[in-house]
Amino acid sequence: MKKSFFILGVTALAAGMTLFSCSKSYLDKPPYGALPLDLIATPEGTRGFLIGAYAALDGQQANVAAIGGGGPWEAAPSNWIYGSVAGGDAHKGSNPIDQPPINQIMTGVFDPANGFFNTKWKAIFDGITRCNTTLKSLSQTVGLESAEATSIKAEARFLRAHYYFELKKMFKRVPWIDETTTDFQQPADDSWSHIEDDLKFAADSLTDLAFNGDAGRANKWAAKAYLGKVYMYEHNYAAAKTQFDAVITQGVTATGLHYSLDNVNFEDNFNPAKKNNSETVFDIQMTANNGTNQITHANQGDMLNFPYNSPFGCCGFYQPSQDLVNSYLVNATTGLPLNDNNATEVISDMGKSSSTAFTLDTKTVDPRLDWTVGRRGVPYLDWGPHPGANWIRQQDYAGPYAPKKNVYYKATQSLYYDAHSWAPGSAINVHIIRFADVLLLAAEAEIEAGSLAKATTYINMVRERANRPAGFVSINDNIAFAKATTNSDAEFNTASTTIKMGAGDWVVRKDKGETWVVLTADANGHPTSWNAYKLPAYKAGDYGTFADQASARAAVRLERKLELAMEGQRYFDLVRWGVAPAVMNAYYQYEGKITTDLTGANFVARDTAYPIPQRQIDLGLKGGQPTLTQNSGY
C-alpha cells in the first residue's frame, strides 16, 4: 500500500466517521453537528471513506481513548493476546502486576467483564462502521467511473468480511450490521453466510491486481484465499479445497507477483525492507516516521513486546514458552519433528544471570526456532547474541525467552523504527494471510476431503523453505556491530587487548565458528572473562508418505504451530480443531512447572469462544431487554 493511502485514514474520514461512532453501545446514532452523508457523498469523499476503512485495520484508528479507554495492545490486530498468549505460544511476560487483565486470559479465565474484550469488540466494530459508511456513501455518489466504483464496493465488502471474521472467531455470535441497517440493536447471529457473501462478491468483482496497484489493497486472490479460510472454520473442507486449488495455481499478489515461497526466506516476512513480497496474500500495512508524530500506524498494538532493559526501551511482554521452543526439536538424521510432547527439552538459561557462563544447547532444531524466539547466545537479528536474563524482566515469572518476529533490525532502525512514543513502533507488516498459511490450510483441506499425497506436497513446500540454508541464523548475523571479527587466535588476542570492551560486547571468531561475548572486563576495558557461543545444527526434513489420515492431520497441525508461532493464530486453530481444552490443560501442567505465572491455570469445560463483553450486553437493550445473549458457560 502506498504510504499516502494508509496515512490519510483519520483525516479523510473525520467528518463521516461521526455518522456511526461507538460510544453508548457497539453502534450509536449520529451526534449533533455531524455532516449529513449526502453532502459528502462525492467521489473524493467516498474514496476517503474507503481509506478510513483500511486505516482501521490496525485497531488503533478510533483512538482507543475515544472508544472507551484502554491500551492500544487491547485491540492489537496481531492478536498476540487472544491468539498466541491464550494459545500457549507465549507467556504474557513482564511481571505479575503489569496489565493484569492479560493474566486472566493467559490462564484460561475468560471473564465477560474483562475490559480487554470490550476494547477489541468496539475497535472491530469501528472498522465495520467505516465499511458500511463507505458503501452507503458509494450508493449516493455520482461521477465515479464504473471500474473504480466496483472496486470500492468490493474492497469495502472484503474489509467488512475481515472485520466480521475477527469478531466471529473471537466471540462466535455477533450482531450483523450492514449499510442498510437502521435499527442497530440487533440480536447475535451465529451464521457465517454474511461473511461468505461479502467475500464471494469481492472475489467475483475484484481483479488480479489491486486497484492502482496498491500493495496493501485487496485483490481477487486475497478474497478467494480468505473465503477458503472461512470455509475451514466452518469445516467445509471440500469448498475450501476448491478455493485453495485456484489460489495456489493461479493466484497473484496485489502487485502481480505469483504466490510463491521460492524467493522468500522465512525471516523476510518479518523484515520491513522485504515486505509485500510473493508470499503476501493480505497484510496490514505499517509505516514508521510517517509525519504523524505518533506510532498509531507503526504497530502500536505490539509496542509492549520488546525485551526489557534493552536497546528497545520497553517493555518485556510476550515471552515465548518453553513448550513452543521444544516443539522445534528435530531428529538429527531426518530433520523431522520429535513431537514427543516435551519429553525432550531445549536447555535454557533459566535461573542464570547474564554474567554467568552458559553453554547454548546444540541439539538439532528446526531453523525457524531462532527466527521466532530470542534465546541466550543466539544472534538477536543484528543486535548481537541475546544476553539472557539482562533482557528479561522477571525470569521466574515468565521464562527466559524474548519475542523476535516483531523486532526491527539495528542496521535499518533509522527507517523502520518509530520513536514517537514511550515504547517502540515499527514498520513490520501484520500478516492477515500469507502464502505459507494458505498452503497449510490447503493441506488440511486435502487431508479431510482430498489427497494425502497432495497434502504432503503442500506441507513439504513449507518445510523446504524453512530448510533453505541461506535463511539459517549464523555467526555472520553478529558481525555488523561486533567489536571485532577475527580469523585466528593471534588476531583475537590482539583485539581483546587493544580494543576497549565491556560486558555484553562481542567478537566474532570466524576461525572457530563462534561468537565470544564479554562477561566481565576490568576498569581499563580489557575483557577478563568470555562466553563462547556456537550455534546448534539446523535442519527441517521433508515428510514421506503418511501412513493414514490421523498421522497426516497431526503433522499439519504441528506445522502450523511451527510456521505461524507468535502470529496470533494458535488459540483459534485449537478451537476450530476442537482440541483447545485438552491441549491447553496439558500446556498448563507442563509450563506451570517452569514459571510462576500459570499457577492455578485451568481451561474449564465451557464454550471455547470468548465471552461477549458484558458491557455490550448491558448497553444493548431494546424495550428494557438485552438483545445480545451470552455465550454458554459464562
User: Is the preceding peptide bond at 315 cis, omega within 30 degrees of 0?
Assistant: yes
The answer to whether residues 323 and 88 touch, using CB atoms and an 8 Å cutoff, is yes
pLDDT of residue 28 exceeding 70, the answer is: no
Q: What is the pLDDT of residue 70?
A: 78
**AA letter at 104:** Q
Within a domain: 306: no
- What tens digit of pLDDT does each residue of 372-417 get? 999 999 999 999 999 999 999 999 999 999 999 999 999 999 999 9
Task: Tell me the pLDDT band of 344, cut-offs 50, 70 and 90.
Answer: very high
Pick the last residue of a domain from 533, 557, 577: 533
Secondary structure of residue 82 in the 3-state scheme: helix
Same domain, 522 and 614: no
Residue 77 falls within a domain, yes or no? yes
Residues 501 and 614 both lie in one domain: no
Q: What residue type is assigned to position 334 of the chain? A: T
For 150-178, write each residue's pLDDT tens digit. Answer: 999 999 999 999 999 999 999 999 999 99
Residue 45 has φ and ψ, to the nearest 5°, of: -65, -40
The set of cell numbers assigned to 332 is 538429527
Residue 69: what pLDDT? 63
pLDDT for 62 equals 58
Residue 325 placed within a domain: no
Q: Are residues 28 and 121 in the same domain?
A: yes
pLDDT at residue number 189: 87
Last residue of a domain, one of 489, 507, 533: 533
Task: For the chain, give the mean pLDDT.
Answer: 92
Tell me whether residue 394 is in a domain.
no
CA–CA dist 394, 42 (Å, integer): 55
- Domain membership flag for residue 264: no
pLDDT value at position 68? 54
User: What DSSP state is assigned to residue 610?
Assistant: P
Q: Which residues of 462-488 are buried (b: 16+ CB within 10 A; e: fewer)?
A: bbebbbeeebbbbbebbbbebbbbbee
Strands 484-486 and 506-509: parallel
CA distance readout (Å), 446 to 2, 410, 457: 37, 42, 10
Percent of the chain's residues with pLDDT above 90: 87
Alpha-carbon gap, residue 411 to 426, rounded angstroms? 14
> Do residue 613 and residue 529 come from a single domain?
no
Cell digits for 373?
Answer: 524466539
Show the domain range for 505.
Answer: 475-533
Residue 327 within a domain: no
Is 484 inside a domain boundary?
yes
| Tens-digit pLDDT profile for residues 486-530 | 999 999 999 999 999 999 999 999 999 999 999 999 999 999 999
Has residue 527 been placed in a domain? yes
Residues 62, 193, single domain; the answer is yes
Reply yes or no on whether the pLDDT at 307 is more than 90.
yes
The grid cell for 377 is 547466545
Coil, strand or helix at 421: coil
Same domain, 628 and 480: no
Say if residue 578's pLDDT is above 90.
yes
Domain co-membership, 501 together with 634:
no
Q: Residue 253: pLDDT band by 50, 70, 90 thresholds?
A: very high
Task: Give the model confidence (pLDDT) of 548-558 as tens digits.
Answer: 999 999 999 99
* H or E element, residue 270: none
- Check residue 31 and give its pLDDT: 39
pLDDT class for 593, splitting at 50, 70, 90?
very high
Query: Same structural domain for residues 36 and 127?
Result: yes
Q: Within this chain, do residues 516 and 613 fall inside the same structural domain, yes or no?
A: no
The confidence band for 22, taking pLDDT boundaries of 50, 70 and 90, is: very low
Look at residue 21 in the predicted model and tell me its pLDDT. 33
Q: Rounded to two decimals, what is the model's pTM?
A: 0.94
pLDDT band at residue 61 using 50, 70 and 90 as cut-offs: low
Q: Are the CB atoms for 218 and 206 separated by under 8 Å?
A: yes
User: Same domain for 487 and 630?
Assistant: no
Domain count, the chain: 2
Q: Are residues 11 and 143 in the same domain?
A: yes
Q: How confident is the model at residue 18 (pLDDT cuts 50, 70, 90)?
A: very low
- Give the CATH number for residue 198: 1.25.40.390
Element (H, E) at 532: strand 527-533
Pair 517, 613 in one domain: no
Which tens digits make up the pLDDT trace of 118-151? 999 999 999 999 999 999 999 999 999 999 999 9
Residue 9 identity (one-letter amino acid): G
What are the tens digits of pLDDT across the range 610-628?
Answer: 999 999 999 988 888 899 9
Per-residue pLDDT at 296 exceeds 70: yes
